[in-house]
C-alpha cells in the first residue's frame, strides 16, 4: 500500500514544478520553485533524512530562492521580444527529452525500485554512517536537487538577458 503522505508530497512537488515551468511571471515561478523544494523536503522527511530536509529548506528554499527573487526584482525585467521556436530548438528539446528517458530507464533497469523493501533505519549521530548513507542511499536525490538548482540558475541568467531584437540572437 502506498503511503498517503508520499502521494501527497509527490503530487504537490510535481504540480509546483509544472508551475515553475509554465508560469510567465518570474516572481510567481520563483515562489513555485520554493514550494517545489518544500515538497522535496517533505519527501526527504518521509525517507528519515531529517538533516537533508532541514538543509534543503534553509539553504535552497530559504537562501537561494530569496537570492533569485532579489536578482529578478533588481533586474526590473520588462517583456521583450519573444524568441520563436525553430526546428533546431524543437529537435534539441526532443533530443534532451529522449536522453532523459534513456537515463531514467537505464537507472530503473540497473537499480529497480522495490516498493516492498523496508525503509532504511534512521542514521544516528555518527558522521561516518551519515556520510555513507549520503553517498550511497541518498546520492541520486542530492544530485537531482543540485541539477534542479543548476537549471534554475541558468533560467535566471537566460531571463536576465535583454534582447533588443532578433538580430541579437544570431
Work out whether the CA dihedral 62, 72, 93, 18 comes out positive or negative: positive
Q: What is the pLDDT of residue 140?
A: 86
pLDDT tens by residue, 29-85: 888 988 999 999 999 999 888 888 888 888 887 777 777 777 777 666 555 566 777
Torsion of CA 25, 30, 32, 37, to 10 degrees: 170
Q: What share of the chain in percent tops pLDDT 90?
A: 19
pLDDT, mean of residues 140-163: 78
Can you give the residue range of the structural domain that contains 39? 4-168
Place of cell 543548476: 150
Check whether 9 has a pLDDT greater than 90.
yes
Rounding to the nearest 10 degrees, give the CA dihedral for residues 118, 124, 128, 132: 20
Tally of domains within the chain: 1
pLDDT value for 63: 78
Kindly report the pTM of this predicted structure: 0.51
- Residue 119 pLDDT > 70: no
For residue 113, give the CATH number of its domain: 1.20.120.1200
Read off φ and ψ for residue 82, nearest 5 degrees. -75, 135
Distance of alpha carbon 22 from alpha carbon 24, whole angstroms: 6
Sign of CA dihedral 33, 91, 142, 50: positive
Higher pLDDT, 119 or 111: 111
Amino acid at each position: 500500500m502506498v503511503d498517503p503522505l508520499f502521494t501527497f508530497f509527490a503530487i504537490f512537488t510535481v504540480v509546483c514544478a509544472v508551475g515553475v515551468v509554465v508560469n510567465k511571471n518570474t516572481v510567481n515561478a520563483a515562489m513555485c520553485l520554493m514550494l517545489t523544494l518544500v515538497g522535496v523536503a517533505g519527501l526527504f522527511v518521509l525517507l528519515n533524512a531529517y538533516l537533508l530536509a532541514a538543509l534543503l529548506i534553509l539553504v535552497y528554499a530559504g537562501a537561494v530562492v530569496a537570492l533569485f527573487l532579489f536578482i529578478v526584482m533588481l533586474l526590473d525585467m520588462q517583456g521583450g521580444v519573444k524568441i520563436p521556436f525553430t526546428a533546431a530548438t524543437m529537435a534539441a528539446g526532443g533530443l534532451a527529452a529522449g536522453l532523459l528517458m534513456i537515463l531514467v530507464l537505464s537507472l530503473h533497469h540497473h537499480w529497480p525500485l522495490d516498493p516492498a523493501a523496508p525503509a532504511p533505519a534512521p542514521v544516528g549521530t555518527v558522521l561516518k554512517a551519515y556520510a555513507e548513507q549520503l553517498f550511497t542511499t541518498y546520492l541520486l536525490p542530492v544530485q537531482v536537487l543540485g541539477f534542479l538548482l543548476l537549471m534554475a540558475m541558468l533560467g535566471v541568467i537566460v531571463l536576465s538577458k535583454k534582447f533588443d531584437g532578433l538580430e541579437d540572437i544570431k
